[in-house]
Structure 1
Amino acid sequence: MLAALVGVTAFTGATILNGQMDSHAVDVTQAVPVVASAGLLQTDAAADTALVPYAARFSALVSAAAITALEDMETAEDAAANNSDLKQAGSTAKAALQAAAAEETPEESAKEETVEVPVSASTTGVAALGVISGTGVRMRSGPGTGYSILMTMRQNAAVAITGKDGSWYKVLYDGTSGCISADYVTRYESAGGLRHTGRVTADTLNIRSGPDSGSSAVGSVQSGAYVTVTGIEKGWYAVSYNGASGYVSGDYVALCAGGSTAAEAPAETPAEAPVEETPAVSEPVTGTVSGSYVVSLAQQYLGTPYVYGGSSASGFDCSGFTMYVFSQAGVSLPHGATSQLSYGTEVSRSDLQPGDLVFFQDYGAVASHVGIYIGGDQFIHASSSYYNGRCVVTSSLTETYYDGHYYTARRH
């Protein structure tokens, strides 16, 4: 009997395809365990000559995605899924993905024990800042699982805690108030070193040198602007904005998607299966599509899980999400990021308006990812990134990955 010792090294799709190490290589501790033959990474020579120049690379790309799980970027899996209409992801590669996924054992959602703390010394309506400690955590209309689901929260999202009812926190998130089980929230009354995003709700909000209204103003920010929330003290958020750092009242900042704590936890399995929601469409849209209307439709699906090849409210990939949202607004788009480039009118990055489609380029694809611009350098998208919780989230175009891979934009 012939015995062989096989050493396994983890690479990203780009590494395998290019035959060299690059910035996408990960430590073996981050890689998904592999039990598969080397044949999964081979491409058919005859097919290579029949496809477009970058098609052969995608044939191996999907298989590579089965053995890599990066946290800070969109995945090769997503790039392949959103170019499948170009025949770059065949049934054999998809089967390889499914086989690899079947061999993984899902982790149980992590529950962090909540330690009771003294009554907050807050001088605002915000008692504390809470960070969601699991994936698929539900915000409900009341303090119990019998109440209706308002939204599904992504892991590491920040919420404003305004009170407590039994074992449930009363919270505010992006203008929505509800309740979340305290078992899935890490509470901060006094903290620094965080990194979250908040949207200013006051007409003009002063940034002050200390956490009280008597401290001197060191700057100001206008309504609708996004600030980076780095901590909390007495119900005042420590923030940075355009080079100015200080404190703003928690009453006038809505915590929202777009930021996360410095230490990211690995992906976990939701305790509850996502619930399909039906958008509340006010009236049919004719002629030019209203960008704000498209954004309002898209935001109804925040927290919906990322699903390879998905294009329904139970789960999306990135182009499936944009296709679905625009179909609700009366615009027909194909399922494929590269294919969606052929629709609408090209606009420059400096001229972006809410409702524009923004495209990104990676893994050798013409367009590997797509999302919907919502204003303030923010966009909403179905993210395959473990960093974002693999769900529909709002991210910033200024984040390193998206800024470095931004490609173009289209308006409908």
Structure 2
Amino acid sequence: MKKIFTLVVIVMCILASPRILLATTSENSETISGVTKTVGVVTASALNLRKTDVSTSTVLTTIPKNTQVDVISKNANNWYNVKYNGQTGWVSGAYLIVKTVTDTSSEITPDTSSGNSETISGVTKTVGIVTASALNLRKTDVTTSAVLTTIPKNTQIDVISKNANNWYNVKYNGQNGWVSGLYLTVKTVTDTTSVTEVSRSDSSKLVDDALSLIGVPYVFGGNSRSGFDCSGYTQYVFKGVGISLPRTAAEQFKLGVSVNREQLQAGDLVFFSTYAPGASHVGIYIGGGSFIAADSNKGICISKLDDAYYTSCYLGARRIRLN
């Protein structure tokens, strides 16, 4: 009798096991093979992984130089929420090179509690649906911050990241800002948008030409090697590969194909809203999260898109067909 009872128990466990595995898979993971993910490569000799996003926070562990970590999100102070050796914590963006790589793993486990809102270009993306009658898009992640615009109820907006205080960094009508998660239903949808592929045959020459002008001084209204302003510089460089651009950043912003930040390629134009609304500053993306432009203080120089200033005023990017 004891043997029969034991046999019954074993059979019941075998039958129950697949159901438990299936439930775990459907609730906690999504199989998406060959997509992209955001990672960071450590540039410091040893980078502290901290519990929160301040330099005085508890150190969870140290990450060796050249180690690749998974990036979950980034806040306005250039701190990154990352995952390393099974631990989730915060590192300073000053010691991290951030890039997009192909994810060869077959399983991605969403972690909504930690604010993972990774956008997988061309496959899936994270969006939010506004549940309030009118939701304020604010400049920073506090209720007293300046209101950039209001978003109507049921509007779908692109989610960039989420912080520990349940505020979401989102994009709406070309503007980046913050909204409270209390009035947002967040979900993952299939991204059906695609960027038109254009010839990049001359992009290396264009970037080489752009880099050859480093150190030329800034001159308001300038468009020659004796001095450039931002749009005069881009106009000059593109002319070198046979492309005629209009004179101002605002006019250049109307050209080409719009490109998501995650899909930038060397030679794309990147635009910022700085001293005036709309496109008032322009540069040329050169890869690795960097762009080159005419800086009013430094002249022609290389800057990082992840710099706090440029992140706050980033407007968008355009890809111009290179013949």
TM-score range normalised by the length of the shorter chain: 0.3 to 0.5
Q: Which structure is higher in RCO with an 8 Å CA cutoff and minimum separation 6?
A: 1
Instruction: State the TM-score, normalizing by the size of structure 2.
Output: 0.40
Q: Which has the higher strand share?
A: 2
Higher CA-based Rg: 2
Instruction: State the TM-score, normalizing by the size of structure 1.
Output: 0.32
